[in-house]
Amino acid sequence: MHLHILGICGTFMGSLALLARELGFQVSGSDTDVYPPMSTQLEEAGIALREGYDAANLVPRPDLVIVGNALSRGNLEVEAVLNQGLPYVSGPQWLAEHVLPGRRVIAVAGTHGKTTTASLLAWLLESAGLEPGFLIGGVPRNFGISARLGAADAPFVVEADEYDTAFFDKRSKFVHYRPEIAILGNLEFDHADIFADLAAIERQFHHLVRTVPGRGRLLVADDEPALDRVLAQGCWTPVERLGAAPSSPWRFALERDDASRFRVIHQQAEIDEDAVVDWPLTGTHNARNALAALAAGHVCGVDLARGCAALARFETPRRRQEVRGEVAGIQVIDDFAHHPTAIATTLEGLRAATTRGRLLAVIEPRSNTMRLGTLSDRLAASVAAADQSFWYQPAGLDWSLEPILAAIPEPARLVSDIDALVAALVAEARPLDRIVVMSNGGFGGIHEKLLAALEVAHG
C-alpha cells in the first residue's frame, strides 16, 4: 500500500512516515521546508521526498494521502487530492487506527517541554528493558530516530500536541490518542493563530482528560493554575501531582543551583523513597520534565533508583540545548525556542551553569504565535538571563522588533541579514562564551555558518 504524506518534513509527519515504513507501507511525501534533522532521517530511511506542492507529486496515484495540519485549502496538492477524489486522512487519525490499538499509550502534553519529557520517558523505559515504541516531535539522541514501533507489548510514548489536527479536523491532535497515562506538564497561552484565548486551550486539554480511563493515571504538574481549571471541569482518573509543592507525592529538591543534580522524593501511601539525579542537563524546567518522566516510568514498573541512574546517560534531543560545536572555547548551542517562556527558562538554566564566560542569546521569533506578535510584550524580559542578545527580523514578520530591544537593559542588537548576524556574533564572541541560537526553524543554516566563521576568525 502506497501512502503519500503532505507536510512530511514536519516533526510529527516525518515521525509518522518512519512508523509507516516500519509497518511495511510504501511511503513518499512532499513539503516546502526541507531541512535537518527530519529531512536527513527520512532520506536515511529511503523515503522519497519531493520539494514543493504540486499535483504531479500524486503520480503514481497513492492508495491513501495523509494530510499534515500545516496545509490548508488553496494548497495545490490539497486541491488535487480533493479534485481527484483520493482517499485522505489526518496524521493523528492514521496513528490512532494503525499504530496505537492494543498498546499502552502514554501521552505527554503541555505547552513546553513535551519533546524533552517524551524523550526522557522513552529512554527510561528503554533502560529498563521494556523496548518502548514512541513518536516524538524531535530526534532523541539516545535513539537517533524520532519514532519506532517498539515491542508489541511495550508502552508507546507519544508527544501529545494541542495544535489542531488538519484543515478538515480542528480538534487538537491529542484527542485521537486515547492514552492510558497522560502527563500534563504545564499550560499557558500559545498558538494564537488558532486559539482565541487560554480558556479555549483549556477546553481542549479537558477533552484529553475525558479520554483517559479510570484505570489509568493523570500525572499533573503542581503550581499550574490553568491545569487546575482543566481538572475542575471534571476528572474520572486518579491524579498524581508532581513538582516542588510539599503536598505533591512526586517532588524534586535541588542539590545544585543549576538543577544538574537534584533529589527525587516519592511519597506513597505507606512507602517513602528517594533517589538522586546527577545529569548533564540544567534548569528547573528540565528537573520538572525528568520528574514527570520518572513518575510515568514508575507507573510502568520502572524502579525509581534505576530510573534516576539512567538519566545520567540521557542525551538531549536534537535542537534542545544541543551543543552544535565549539571553536576556540566558544560554544554554539541550538535550542528550539517557540515562546517567551521557553526562551526564559532555557536561558536561566544555562545562566546558572555558566560560571565563566558570557551567555549570548540569538533569537528568531518564527513560531506562528511569535509572528502574530501576541506575546511580544514578554520578549524583552525573556532574555534577562543573557549578557547580550541578538535579534533577527525574519521576512514575513510584519511588526518591528525595535521596541523590544529598547526595553532590554542589557546590550541588544537587531539584524535582518543572516550573514551580517554571523559577522556580528564572530566579532563579539570570545573564549568561554556560550552562544545560544533560539528558533523553531532552520534559521538559514546559521549554526554551520557561525561555526565555520568562528574557525576562520579564531581557529
43 and 111 both lie in a single domain: no
Angle between helices 284-299 and 114-127 in degrees, nearest 10? 40
Does the annotation place 111 within a ligand binding site? yes
370 and 436 both lie in a single domain: yes
Q: Kindly give, in sequence order, each residue whose CB lies less than 8 Å from that of residue 228, ignoring residues fewer than 6 positions away.
A: none
Does the annotation place 112 within a ligand binding site? yes
Ramachandran assignment for 252, one of left (phi > 0), alpha (psi -120 to 50 degrees), beta (any other): beta
Does the annotation place 85 within a ligand binding site? no
Q: Which of 208, 210, 215 is nearest to 235 (CA)?
A: 210
Q: DSSP assignment, residue 435?
A: E
The gap between the terminal CA atoms of the chain, to the nearest Å, is: 52
Q: What are residue 358's phi and psi, to 5 degrees? A: -110, 165
In-domain check, residue 31: yes
Q: Which of 283, 244, 289 is nearest to 261 (CA)?
A: 283
350 and 300 both lie in a single domain: no
How many Cβ atoms from other residues are within 10 Å of residue 403's Cβ? 12
Q: List helix spans (H) across 273-339.
A: 284-299, 304-311
In-domain check, residue 105: yes
Predicted structure pTM score: 0.79
185 and 270 both lie in a single domain: yes
14 and 105 both lie in a single domain: no
432 and 298 both lie in a single domain: no
pLDDT tens readout for residues 91-126: 999 999 999 999 999 999 998 888 889 999 999 999
Of 283, 311, 339, the position where a domain reaches its end is 311
In-domain check, residue 119: yes
Q: List helix spans (H) across 107-216.
A: 114-127, 198-211
Number of H-type helices and E-type strands within the chain: 15, 23
C-alpha cell at 283: 534548569
In-domain check, residue 333: yes
Does the annotation place 115 within a ligand binding site? yes
What is the domain-level CATH number for residue 307? 3.40.1190.10
Per residue of the chain (459 residues), what is the pLDDT tens digit?
A: 999 999 998 889 999 999 999 999 999 999 997 666 677 778 888 888 898 999 999 999 999 999 999 899 999 999 999 999 999 999 999 999 999 999 999 999 998 888 889 999 999 999 999 999 999 988 888 888 889 999 999 999 999 988 899 999 999 999 999 999 999 998 987 766 678 888 999 999 999 999 999 999 999 999 899 999 999 999 999 999 999 888 899 999 999 888 889 999 998 645 566 789 998 888 888 899 999 999 999 999 999 999 999 999 988 766 777 888 888 788 888 887 767 777 887 787 777 767 788 989 888 877 665 665 566 667 778 888 888 888 887 776 767 777 777 777 787 788 778 888 888 888 888 888 888 888 876 776 788 888 888 888 776
51 and 126 both lie in a single domain: no
87 and 106 both lie in a single domain: no
147 and 242 both lie in a single domain: yes
In-domain check, residue 335: yes
Of 289, 311, 333, the position where a domain reaches its end is 311
How many Cβ atoms from other residues are within 10 Å of residue 396's Cβ? 7
In-domain check, residue 254: yes
pLDDT tens readout for residues 122-146: 999 999 999 999 999 888 888 888 8
86 and 115 both lie in a single domain: no
How many domains is the chain built from? 3
CB-CB contact of 330 with 155 (8 Å): no
154 and 281 both lie in a single domain: yes
C-alpha cell at 234: 471534571
Of 311, 341, 376, the position where a domain reaches its end is 311
Does the annotation place 354 within a ligand binding site? no
- Work out whether strand 164-166 and strand 169-172 pair parallel, antiparallel, or are unpaired: antiparallel
C-alpha cell at 169: 479536523
Q: Domain range for residue 131? A: 100-311
Q: Which of 17, 25, 84 is nearest to 55 (CA)?
A: 84
In-domain check, residue 317: no
